[in-house]
Structures are given as structure tokens and as C-alpha cells.
A and B are shown apart, each in its own frame.
Chain A
Amino acid sequence: DAKTTQPTSMDCAEGRAANLPCNHSTISGNEYVYWYRQIHSQGPQYIIHGLKNNETNEMASLIITEDRKSSTLILPHATLRDTAVYYCIVRPSNTGNQFYFGTGTSLTVIP
């Protein structure tokens, strides 16, 4: 079962930063925060994950609050190709790899 809460939808202007929030107030100490996205008619794509420190890769940054009860995925310069559904997932690192996807946030990047 999904243990996260995300807004249903968001808009972002092209070229601006897209900040996607996720609440996970019941997260346990051994659970990581993962972000995937699903572009229309494609399979989900891994973006980033973290435990408690902020993380950055070539796709995005992940900011996790100190109490770990929420996080924000940041796409620094959103493009039209970033329009997708973004899923925030919490999962222990040792549970045999099952990921439970929630309803996600539908991000629309506007020209």
C-alpha cells in the first residue's frame, strides 16, 4: 500500500523549476524515498532516491526534510518532455524490491 500523499496535479512554466511535494509522515527509519515518473504511453522511469540526505543527479534533486516526514523533487529547468505523472514511493531497502505505486502527481509543463 502506498504510504505517501501527493497533490493530484500541478502545472509548471517551461524553463522554470518544478517543485513536486510528497508527504510521508509515517516513514520508518529504514525506509528510503524514491521518485519515478511515467510519461504518457511509456513505462515508469526511475528518477532518484534518498534516505535522509539531499540527493542530486542529472535528472533532478531530492530534498528530504530533517524529520523525514516530507520531501520535494525538484526539476531545475522543466521542459515540455518533463510532462508526466510523478510517483513518490517509500520503501525499505531490504524488502525484496517490491515497489508500491500510489496515484502520483500529474505534472504539466506549459510552454
Chain B
Amino acid sequence: DTAVSQTPKYLVTQMGNDKSIKCEQNLGHDTMYWYKQDSKKFLKIMFSYNNKELIINETVPNRFSPKSPDKAHLNLHINSLELGDSAVYFCASSPLGANVLTFGAGSRLTVL
């Protein structure tokens, strides 16, 4: 009964590859997010979707393309992976206009 679930938990891949991370929430929330946490532990928002519509895009390279097939899912596709993309990616969700984010457990991406 995990509230926000991400897959895969670990992903190791070569530079130049394309990969996806999936996120699903069963909380009935309207808004979903992707955050990136780098090796220095800075947690930065990347994207926010509200009912399948993009509402925040924080200067993320266009190699990153979020896709929300419905309001319970927000997937992150990354093209042409670079070494600097290595990080832990966290998905989160919240009710519309609410003040509390519920985070997933994270997906650790390692680019070799």
C-alpha cells in the first residue's frame, strides 16, 4: 500500500543511453513532482504537473522529458544520459493547493 512508488530503485547505465523512471501515487493527489538530489545532497525541484499539465519546469535540460499519462502517474524520461545526470531522483505528490508533499523512496541513477 505504498503511497508514492518509484521504479526502478537503482539504475546503472552508460553515457549516451536513454532511460526512464516511473512514478505512481495512490493517494488521489492532483499534483506530482520530480526532484533531483545530487552527490552534495542538494534537493532541487525539476518539474511539477497538475492533473497531467506541466506547471513548473525549473531550467532542466530538454533531454529530460516528463510525461503524465494520468494524474496518478508521472514518468521521467532522460535522453542521451551524461555523467552529471547521476543522482537520486525523487517523485512526490500533493493535493492541489495543499502544503504537504509525500515523497517516494527515490531512484538512484548512476551513469558510467
Contacts and interface: CB of A to CB of B under 8 A. Distances in A.
Given A97-B48, A98-B48, A44 B90 contact: yes
Given A43-B106, A44-B103, A99 B45 contact: yes
Main secondary structure of the interface of B (DSSP, over half): strand
Interface string A40-61: 0111111001000000000000
Q: Report the contact-size class of chain B (Cβ under 8 Å from the partner).
A: 20 to 34
B99 A101 contact: no
Contacts, number: 56
B56 A96 contact: yes
The size bracket of the interface on A is 20 to 34
A32 B99 contact: yes
Contact of A44 (B42, B43, B55, B98): B43
**Chain A contact residues: helix, strand, loop or mixed:** loop
A100 B105 CA distance: 19
Nearest to A106: B41
A100 B56 contact: no
Contact of A97 (B31, B43, B105): B31
Contacts of B103: 43-45
B111 to A, nearest CB: 19
A98 B48 CA distance: 8
For the complex of A and B, list the 4 residue pairs with the smallest distance between their C-beta atoms, beginning with the closest: A43-B103, A101-B43, A46-B100, A44-B103
